[in-house]
Chain A
Amino acid sequence: MSTFSDTVRELEARLRDLEATARKTGQNLDTIISPLRAEVEKYRAQQSKTEASPSESTETPRWERVKLARTPGRPTALDYVERLCTEFHELHGDRKFGDDPALIGGPARWQGRPVMLLLQQKGRDTKSKIKRRFGSANPEGYRKAVRLMNLADRFGLPVVSLIDTQGAYPGLEAEERGQGWAIAESILRMVQLRVPAVCVVIGEGGSGGALAVGVGNRVLIQENAWYSVISPEGAASIIWKDATKAPLAAEALKLTAPDLLELGIVEEVVPEPAGGAHTDMDLAAELLGPVISRHLDELGKLSPEELKAQRAARFRALGAFTES
């Protein structure tokens, strides 16, 4: 299992690679490098604090899960697709502005069944991680998702979405192009689907950026994935003005798979290999594939109207309040 210092080392290595790439190619990678450098500094600060005085804030049970969800080498969406799908045709672009490599998709065969894939793809090495902005999509990613859902409806393809993002990309251009609008339109399009939709959080499920492709008839989560309204770091920055308190925020947010099952947010927790999905990618895929197939088979028995109504009723029922 990865320890805290592994995380720091991994980040530092990534940073060094990036800086080298920037130097070699003369490319301006500041938008990628700066946040990463900030992250490294943050972790270093946390590390030195931990070493100085071990406090409850650095290690909590839920934080352990968050770390597992972020472990280097954890299978990405494409790792599952390669193991479980044939004939994946990645269809690019939103036909409006551009192509987003953080949210990709297209038709494929999922263990033999024709489906439409929506994948949040983080990247597997430094270069592809940068290209894919670590899985944080821009508006054109969500607009591509809408386009692919249009195709899915037209051709009766069930939608399978694999969610893995810390959140939608918080960039200046993303805002200019209507990040909030794009997410809302994707949520709406998913509400309208007349085909089955099965969504699985396979790593990080951060906020609206995750929900945009998370409005399924069934929503599942892997054992060591998290799903929350805000990342633990984001919550800690708001609550304590200190992102290094993220382990405490993780506890408060109740963001783990068992928490979400208890809250009724997900139908099922998909098991991972002992120690986490990264320890055995093939086994992780073997555990995930049939679960999605089973849900697709069950949902296949419903009519288009029933599918839309079931999905609407599922989300209509979520919330906790009292009535006087």
Chain B
Amino acid sequence: MALDRFFRRRRPQQQASTDAPELWTQCPACKETLYNRDLDTNAFVCPKCGHHLRLDAQRRIHVLIDHDSFRQLSGHLHPTDPLNFQDTEAYTARLSRAQEKTGRPDAIMTGTGSILGVPVTVAVMDFAFSGGSMGSVVGEEITRAAEHAAQAGLPLVIVSASGGARMQESALSLMQMAKTTVAIEALAEKGLPYISILSDPTTGGVTASFATIADVILAEPGALIGFAGPRVIQQTIRQNLPEGFQRSEFLLEHGMVDDVVDRREQRQYIASLLGLLMKRAVSA
């Protein structure tokens, strides 16, 4: 107990020079220093304040999908630079850096697996890769995941985490909003359920396409969800935004999401819901 307190107090100062940074994480909300193993067993929700930490794709699969059931579909598609996009840095350089950082070709991971034994097709976005932005690869992987679900007769679960369409592929990124919608529509025609989970943050072109045309839309607690970013809105209206604006609970209140579900309860919630919906789909 005393030792534990000793460490907790000392840890933040040591972070810069720590030799084992992977052992500890500071909660971005309550600033508590948390032991990673405790976070891992708590679905990366802060045990102290309940803050839902952002997850990369790997961890998202880990907390959502039954262990050892995941078979990856994505990973074979690689982004290109169709516009030869150059701003303060070349798009290709940005891509290389993001790929190195995340170990994946783009901001998405898809596959099949089960949730408490219920088989699903799943697509999770990776905010760590270029802010989870949707370019051609993300759009194509989402589309293929939906097509796979339709073909295999599986429900689809997508976890969004994205700043929106990717600027560096301009109109091609924009078109992914229509393309993914085409695939979701084909899935709906098959009578298969699609559950969308909105995680922190989900904005822009993802909010305005596949993420919000699901049969059931769930949001993680406290997630920023909206179309326009808060800064843009503030510049337009020149007023302070109300507290909690564009957060999950705000959207629930305004009737835009079906429910706000704690990450630690999502597996149970989804398995149960799909049990009800899939029975209907089969008998219909």
Contact = CB atoms under 8 A, between A and B. Distances in A.
B142 to A, nearest CB: 11
A209 to B, nearest CB: 8
A191 interface: yes
Contacts of A211: 174-175, 177-178
Interface in A170-197: 170-172, 174-181, 183-185, 187-188, 191-192
Contacts of A177: 254
A224 B33 CA distance: 56
Dominant secondary structure of chain A at its interface with chain B: helix
Contacts of A185: 212-213
Counting chain B CB atoms within 10 Å of each CB, which of A38, A234, A248, A252 scores highest?
A: A252
A315 B77 contact: no
Contact of B87 (A169, A174, A176, A239): A239
A320 interface: yes
A163 to B, nearest CB: 12
B254 A178 contact: yes
B177 A35 contact: no
B113 interface: no
B73 interface: no
B82 A320 contact: yes
A215 B167 contact: no
A191 B170 contact: no
Contacts of A34: 236-238
Interface in B56-84: 76-80, 82-83
B7 interface: no
Given A229-B166, A239-B88, A321 B254 contact: no
A79 to B, nearest CB: 25
B212 A263 contact: no
A189 B158 CA distance: 21
Query: Considering residues B143, B177, B212, which has the most beta carbons from chain A within 10 angstroms of its beta carbon?
Result: B177
B87 A180 contact: no
B174 A176 contact: no
A191 B232 contact: no
- Interface range, B side: 35 or more
Contacts of B139: 319
Contacts of A319: 136-137, 139-140, 172, 175-176, 179
B204 interface: yes
Contacts of B114: none
B213 A170 contact: no
A228 interface: yes
Given A171-B233, A187-B209, A208-B209, A320 B177 contact: no
Nearest to B189: A192
21 contacts: A170-B227, A175-B245, A177-B254, A180-B204, A180-B211, A183-B227, A185-B212, A208-B165, A208-B204, A211-B174, A215-B181, A228-B174, A229-B171, A229-B173, A240-B88, A249-B87, A260-B171, A312-B185, A322-B80, A323-B76, A324-B78
Interface of A: 30-31, 34-35, 38, 168-172, 174-181, 183-185, 187-188, 191-192, 207-208, 211-212, 214-215, 227-230, 234-235, 238-240, 248-249, 252-255, 259-260, 263, 265, 312, 315-316, 318-324
Interface of B: 76-80, 82-83, 85-88, 136-137, 139-140, 143, 165-167, 169-179, 181-186, 203-205, 207-213, 226-228, 232-233, 235-239, 241-242, 245-246, 254-256
